[in-house]
Each structure stands twice: as C-alpha cells, then as structure tokens.
Amino acid sequence: MDSVTDVTPSPGLTASPDVPASPDVPASLDVAGLAFAYPDGHQALFGVDFSVARGERVALLGPNGAGKTTLVLHLNGILTGGTGTVTVAGLPVDKRHMAEIRRKVGIVFQDPDDQLFMPTVREDVAFGPAAAGLKGAVLEARVDHALAQVGMAEFKDRPPHHLSFGQRRRVAVATVLAMEPEILVLDEPSSNLDPASRRELADILRGLDVTVLMVTHDLPYALELCPRALVLSEGVIAADGPTGELLADDALMRAHRLELPFGFDPRSATMGA
C-alpha cells in the first residue's frame, strides 16, 4: 500500500477542533468530485473532494504543478466547464450566482501590484464596493473599516506605489475585505516579506472573522496560522488533517515533494491560536 493511502486521515480529522461543524450552517466551501482538463488536453484536477467549515483557517499545500492554481480559479468561477461541483456558503458556483460568488470569494494575489492600480489607497479599497453600488458615507465607512482591519487607515490618501511591499500586501487584503467576503483566499501571503511584515500579517489574519484558505509553500507559516491543512498532489487531495501531524509525517512529505526549512521541527513548534 502506498504512503498516500497510509497517511490519509480519517473523516474525523477533516475539521479543525476549534471550529465545530453545524448542521444548520452551510460550509463556507464544499468541493465535490472536481475534475478539470485544459483545452490542450492537460488534466490538472482528477476528482478533488473537501469541505471547509465557516471560520476555519486551512492551508492548501502541494508541489508546483499539483493543481493548486487551477483549483483556486474554480472557487469564484474564473474556470468552469469540468466535472464535479463547487459550492460557496450553500450557493453553487454557476452562472446564476456568479456575481454573489465573486463577492463571497475574495482572492489576494501573490503580487500586490497585480491588485493595486488606482492613484490612492482609498480609491483602490473603494473600487470593488463602488462597482457593486455603494456610495457616499456607506462607501467611506466600508473603506475605513477594511483599512482599519489591516492597520492601514493612516495611509488612506497615500499612493500605493509609495508604500513598502508589506504595506501594499496589507492594502491588497483590505481591497478584498471591503467586499465583506465569506472566504479569503491567499496566494503565498508570506512571500517576499521581511520577518516583521510576516509577523504583522500573521497577527492581522488571526484577527479576521472570515474563513481563510491559504495557498502556500511556506510550511512554518501554514503551521503558525492554519490548524488544518490539505495536501494537493497530482490533481487529488492526498491528505487532509491537522497541519502539525501532516508536516511531521516524513513519508507523506517525501511522497509529495514537500520540504521543511533546514532545522525546523514541526513537532516542537508552537502553532498560533
């Protein structure tokens, strides 16, 4: 029997212990049997199944080429046309619900400069809500709240390109929070951050009242922030369970080309609340 089958946790490990499932509250995200091939015939996903409860913080791990980007692009309907289903807060991701789905699923890109394009921070954060019809004092309050959540309120009138990389990343998070999403999807949130900015972002993410799916190769950051992790490998979920347990499984890590930094031991690391 191969290592993937041996290490896959039982269904009881699929939900974080501090976020109990409720039969009355739909999951923030439910993916069932999701398979997808690109027009050139490349099959990226082969049947992905997982669910994320409301309020969970879950890390999506996997080597390059595992299908992580393809999966993320299905969450808000950028990619469609395969088989299987994606459901966000009880709504299927399809044409009937696309506007609401794209409000509920906020994606923060790896490079904040791909997300910030207006003359000032305020205008960048206001762009999405304004396009959705918010105006006047209601719009201003939404912008102010989003910037306060990421500690950037005092930079509201600054041009984004005058900010540090870490500050721009926090503003990029604010542009998504301004839409009041159900799920915050973060693509490599710790990349290119200095240690202080990395810690500041972690503190912000821990304080948000939102479901988080964090796509990352930064395994210590995943352990710090996400009680649960998914390992996506060759287009399927190879493992799903407590992050510390998965990272401590040497056979699983080797089988899916995941490597911890030299000297880092997940068995002795302390995960943040």
Instruction: State the total domains in the chain.
Output: 1
Percent of the chain whose pLDDT exceeds 90: 85
Residue 12: the pLDDT is 32
Q: What is the pLDDT of residues 76-133, one digit of tens each?
A: 999 998 999 999 999 999 999 999 999 999 999 999 999 999 999 999 999 999 999 9
Q: For residue 261, tell me if it sits in a domain.
A: no
Q: What is the pLDDT, as a whole number, of residue 1?
A: 32
What is the bridge-based pairing of β-strands 105-108 and 29-37?
A: unpaired
Does residue 183 belong to any structural domain of this protein? Answer: yes
How far CA 232 is from CA of 37, 151, 217, in Å, comes to 16, 33, 12
Q: List all residues 6 or more positions away from 248 whose beta carbon is below 8 Å from its beta carbon.
A: 266, 267
CA distances from 68 to 183, 193, 208 (A): 16, 22, 23
Domain that holds residue 134: 3-255
Residue pair 185/105 in contact by the 8 Å Cβ criterion: yes
The enclosing domain of 60 has a CATH number of 3.40.50.300
On the question of pLDDT at 17 being above 60, the answer is no
Question: Does the residue 131 lie in any domain?
Answer: yes
Instruction: Compute the average pLDDT of residues 251-263.
Output: 94
Q: How far apart are CA 212 and CA 179, in angstroms?
A: 15
Give the C-alpha distances (Å, rounded to integers) separating 180 from 75, 78, 104, 257, 272.
16, 19, 7, 36, 24
**Domain presence at residue 270:** no
- Write down the pTM of the prediction: 0.88
CB 69 within 8 A of CB 78: no
User: Is 123 a domain residue?
Assistant: yes
103-118 per-position pLDDT tens digit: 999 999 999 999 999 9
Residues 57 and 205: beta-carbon distance below 8 Å: yes
Q: What average pLDDT is seen over the chain?
A: 90
Q: How large is the average pLDDT for residues 217-237?
A: 97
Asked whether residue 191 is assigned to any structural domain, the reply reads yes
Does 263 fall in a domain?
A: no
* Residue 272 confidence (pLDDT): 54
Q: Is residue 72 part of a domain?
A: yes
User: SS3 of 98, please?
Assistant: helix
Confidence band (pLDDT; 50, 70, 90) for 267?
confident
pLDDT reading at 246 higher than 80: yes
User: How far is residue 242's CA from residue 21's CA, in Å, rounded to a whole number?
Assistant: 16
| Residue 4 pLDDT exceeds 50 | no
- Measured CA to CA in angstroms, residue 170 lies from 5, 111, 189, 193 at distances of 39, 11, 10, 11
- 204 has a pLDDT exceeding 70: yes
